Amino acid sequence: MRRSRCAILFQTAEHRSTPLNSTYQHLARLLHDRDPRLIGGVAAGIVVLAAAIWLLVYLRRPSAEEIERRRREQLARTGRITDGVILDARTLTGEDSISPTPEVLVYSYRLAGVTYNCAQDVSHLPDQVAGFRIDQPVQLRYDPRNPGNSILVSESWTGLWQNRN
């Protein structure tokens, strides 16, 4: 009787010793004479430790607001300054804003022949945007490595010409 080549390869692959199989066999020999309660306790301890580490890492992760605040402060410290103009003021829902402290400012600037149209959520900075005007020339800060990353205002800097009347 003649066997097919696939059957012979499959049969010989089952009998080969792989590092993973030898690890399982070694682990089975180690645990064979151990108390099951001790093994369960160690496994539960490992699970609790892993959960505690995961929670610690997860809870220390900065929120989206904190990431945005850090971005604004980084640009306020190290960004280059250029001229731009405010095009529009909107609410977060996208409607036109007639409020003296809008939630979103839409602005435009030009660098190296490229025009950038951007918007900044300024709802967390109402004191910094009070007294703005549409079509007002402004200064803004941008990242020279990524010119689309820019700000009009931050907690420590503003490019708006404030109307203090």
> Does 159 map to a domain?
no
* Same domain assignment for residues 45 and 84: no
| Same domain membership, residue 147 and residue 102 | yes
Predicted local distance difference test score (pLDDT) of residue 38: 82
- Residues with pLDDT less than 50, the chain: 4-11, 13, 164-165
> Is 26 a domain residue?
yes
Q: Which domain does 129 fall in, by range? A: 64-151
Vertex 82: Cα angle to 80 and 87 (nearest 5): 130
pLDDT at 16: 56
- Residue pair 96/89 in contact (Cβ under 8 Å)? The answer is yes
